[in-house]
Amino acid sequence: MSNHDDPTSLADRAFTAPTSASPLRAERPRDAPLDVDQLHAELELLNRARLVPAQPTDDPRRALEAQHARQLIELDFLERELTAVRARALQAPRTARGFVAWFERLRDDGPGQGDPLFPWLAEHAELSAFRWFLRQEVSGEAGFEDLVALTQLRMPAQAKLELARNYWDELGRGHAGGMHGPMLHRLATALHLDEIGGAIVWEARALANLMVGLAANRRYAYHSVGALGVIELTAPGRSALVNAGLRRCGVPAHTRQYYALHATLDVKHSEAWNREVLYALVDACPDVAPAIAEGALARLTAGARCFARYRRELGLTGAAERAA
């Protein structure tokens, strides 16, 4: 199998490739603080253990103890992210119609919307800047289809069916050439993103760990619904600008297919998600509205944090931002 055909994307490798992080040691004091890089290294190890098929270990009890310790770290991380947006989330209506209207307004007034990074990418960025940006973005992509699969567990029938349709689209409706994950991998391979030096910024790692943490814990299932739904809501505009910039830089259509597709397909996905998932869930149980809202706002806030860091790293400040 050639590298071009390898179905494992750079995003998958965040949870499968060897990491420089040291395993969480039993002798480490429970209350010892972790810096932000250590925190997300530990969460990446947790997500590798919970997501990647593996052989049984020689010492399963020790592996479970390490996983439990990391789950406590994850719990603290997720609660910090959600607490930061809780006040705004509580303003969301608890009627189905009102909630969907509130949710759809996040496309215009949610955190990170209208960020100057994306017009700059479309109109001014050189390919070298694009490659750095895409390496961060691909590494922060946690695998939308797998997150949907985790989120749909035991959901009510109407929501479950729409999540299934979304999942089937992500899998190319049964055709390998239409699978979205390999499309992203083709882009990464064609642009040699794995040859770019330097670390993945912690903000991109946090975004992936947030999404997996919400989807993998049933206590956050409705948060995951909101986080995934807001991606469908807000991604088309950004994807269109990224696609325009890649086209301007001479990247062939087949290579940038992932962004070209999501500039249009996610519009339909969002309409169906809002109607079949959000409306149905809130209509059946208004008390889930704040959790869905928290998940959406946490995802947008994590994205906004990434965009701000990317702008700093790319030197897009002051006059450059205004020009964009």
Supply the pTM of this predicted model. 0.90
Angstrom distance (rounded) from CA 93 to CA 111: 19
* Res 5: pLDDT: 37
CA quadruple 123, 125, 131, 135: dihedral, nearest 10 = -80
* Res 7: pLDDT: 37
* Res 24: pLDDT: 53
Angstrom distance (rounded) from CA 14 to CA 19: 8
Residue carrying structure tokens 């993945």: 200
Which of 26-30, 133-137, 233-237, 307-311 has the least mean pLDDT?
26-30
Q: Are 48 and 216 in contact (CB under 8 A)?
A: no
Angstrom distance (rounded) from CA 198 to CA 132: 9
Of 141, 296, 304, 158, the C-alpha closest to 222 is: 296
What is the greatest pairwise CA distance in the chain?
A: 58
Query: Model confidence over 47-94: pLDDT tens digits?
Result: 999 999 999 888 999 999 999 999 999 999 999 999 999 999 999 999
In DSSP terms, which residues pair with 179 in a beta bridge? Answer: 171
The 10 Å CB-count burial string (b at 16+, else e) for 288-313 is bbbbbbbbbbbbbbbbbbbbeebbee
Q: Please state the rounded mean pLDDT for residues 199-213.
A: 97
Angstrom distance (rounded) from CA 259 to CA 13: 20
Q: Work out the percent of the chain whose per-residue pLDDT is above 90.
A: 80
**Confidence category of residue 21, pLDDT binned at 50, 70, 90:** very low
Residues 6+ apart with CB under 8 A from 294: 82, 85, 86, 89, 223, 226
22 has a pLDDT exceeding 80: no
* Res 58: pLDDT: 84
Average pLDDT of the chain, as a whole number: 89
Of 115, 96, 67, the C-alpha closest to 285 is: 96
* Res 6: pLDDT: 39
Relative orientation angle of helices 221-248 and 202-216, to the nearest 10 degrees: 140
**Confidence category of residue 158, pLDDT binned at 50, 70, 90:** very high
